[in-house]
Amino acid sequence: MKKTLTALLVVGLVSAVSFAGDLVPSAGVNLGWTFPASKSLSDSLNSSFNIGVFARVNSIVIPYTDLVLDVGYTSLPNKNNSDYKMSFIPITLSGEFSPIPDFGLLPYLKLGGGIVFETLKQASEETNTDPIFLGGLGVRMKIADKLVLKVEGVYSYIYQKYISGATEDGALISAGAGISYQF
């Protein structure tokens, strides 16, 4: 499963570059806040700051779609013991679909998936890699000739059956803003 997801990410990126017509690549940074959304995480973890970087390219393969590669980081502290925390590093490939013309504000629907590297720090440290699926809503706005501001909310579902003793899958809700530079 992990190899399949990695292969899909690579094929998606190569396809985006190979088949995109009038490329308008951009790269940027996201800042936001992450909330544990599933009972298995929210019972023990507090919300926390998140940061990420992303690269975007438009695609003519799927009309009205930008392909986005995101890499992020968040570390959620334990509610009862500050020495315990769970860190997430998701790497995802998403489509941002917007079937309406850009009139200054461009709303979009985000769907994608990838892998997430997890570290659980407690008395001992455990690391794990799981599949992640995400969906969200956002809006982009050009604020200068080459600068684009985005605001989005994303729901991430983490299939955590690979963690020993996991009884439920994890879910996170992230809200934040980002700025990108168009090349």
In tens, the pLDDT along 25-45 reads 999 999 999 999 988 778 888
Other CB atoms within 10 Å distance of the CB of residue 54 = 19
Question: Of 46, 71, 55, which is closest to residue 20 (Cα–Cα)?
Answer: 55
- The SS3 of residue 4 is helix
The string of pLDDT tens digits covering residues 158-168 is 887 655 555 67
The string of pLDDT tens digits covering residues 66-81 is 999 999 999 999 888 8
What CATH number has the domain bearing residue 88?
Answer: 2.40.160.20
Report the domain count for the chain: 1
In terms of residue numbers, what domain contains 84? Answer: 2-182
Instruction: Give the angle subtended at the CA of 101 by the CAs of 97 and 105, to the nearest 5°.
Output: 80
Dihedral-angle region of residue 104 (phi above 0 means left; psi in -120 to 50 means alpha; beta otherwise): left
Using 50, 70 and 90 to split pLDDT, how confident is the model at 183? confident
pTM of the entire structure? 0.82
